[in-house]
Amino acid sequence: MLLSKDDFFVLLISIRKEDRMSYNQHLIVLDLDGTLLKDDKTISDFTKQVLSKARQHGHLVMIATGRPYRASRAYYDELNLNTAIVNFNGAFVHHPKDKSFGLFHHPLDLETAKTIIKTCQAFNVSNIMVEVLDDFYLHSFDQVIVDEFLAGQNPIEHGNLLKQLQTDPTSILVHPEEHHVQELRHLLEDAHAEVIEQRMWGAPWNIIEIIRSGINKAIGIQKAAEYYNIPKERIIAFGDEDNDLEMIEYAGQGVAMSNAIEPLKSIANAVTSSNEEDGIGLYLEEALKL
């Protein structure tokens, strides 16, 4: 059937509008703790409204966190997201609602992991948690850790990690005594620099997270950007800690929170208000003219 002249122009205007939307579409990447989440681990109503408005304008919103999926899923659902998610600082990347995205898992070598566990045990650290995707094992059962880090779920096992661990782990979380943090980090760096990455997160807990070398949030974001066909210059990423360094450097607009560590602020394109002051919402409202 031939289109009338009026129908043709309506179709043309519609196509041009879609082209403009595609051209202006941004990928908004959110770290959780200390960034999207306030100190009480909630998302402010204002920032939630701005993120919803950004999605209504055609922009994509995704999460990139050091947390496992089980401990970030509630926020994914709260924001009603339909995008890929980066967990374990890039060691696990998948799309909860679209299997065609693929599943990317980059675990530590099992023998390397056991050597690291032995080193940490020799330091008499407060605790060690080993994660294999959404399964987790504790050296010593601790109800506070279960409540704060494991969303109230109990570990599969606790006790002798060297005996329990039978497969390559996604990450190792170490909770050292505060006066041992830097000494332990230096020791791990000297012994395993070529095969591991280690980051601090979970303040005020002083948790050292250990994952496979070469893995970071930027790796996961790049996979998502390629999948959604969004160039680097239209990626806006927000972070606050050292596990956000590569992500902030990679993004076209890398934004540090005002509560971020100084090394992150020094490489960021911009610094916004803190996680307690709607930093994400205020920045996006202005940058995307919402």
Same domain, 177 and 263: no
Could you report the per-residue pLDDT of 231-245, keeping only the tens digit for each? 999 999 999 998 999
Considering the chain, what is the average pLDDT of its residues? Answer: 86
Same domain, 253 and 162: no
Give residue 201's pLDDT band: very low, low, confident or very high (50, 70, 90): low
Range of the domain at 135: 110-212
Residue 190 appears among annotated catalytic residues: no
CATH number of the domain where residue 274 is located: 3.40.50.1000
Which residue in the list 6, 7, 19, 31 is annotated as catalytic? 31
The count of domains in the chain is 2
User: Of 164, 187, 212, which residue is a domain's last?
Assistant: 212
Q: Which of 37-46, 84-93, 168-177, 240-249 has the lowest mean pLDDT?
A: 168-177
Same domain, 91 and 229: yes
Could you report the per-residue pLDDT of 93-133, keeping only the tens digit for each? 999 999 999 999 999 999 999 999 998 888 888 888 898 88
Residue 112 to residue 195: CA distance in whole angstroms: 8
Helical (H) or strand (E) element with 27: strand 27-30
CA 252 to chain centre: 17
Same domain, 248 and 278: yes
- The predicted structure's pLDDT at residue 65: 94
User: Of 193, 212, 231, which residue is a domain's last?
Assistant: 212
Same domain, 143 and 99: no
Q: What one-character DSSP code corresponds to residue 26?
A: -
Q: What DSSP assignment string belongs to 173-208?
A: EEE--GGGHHHHHHHHHHHHTTTEEEEEESTTS-EE
Which pTM was predicted?
Answer: 0.84
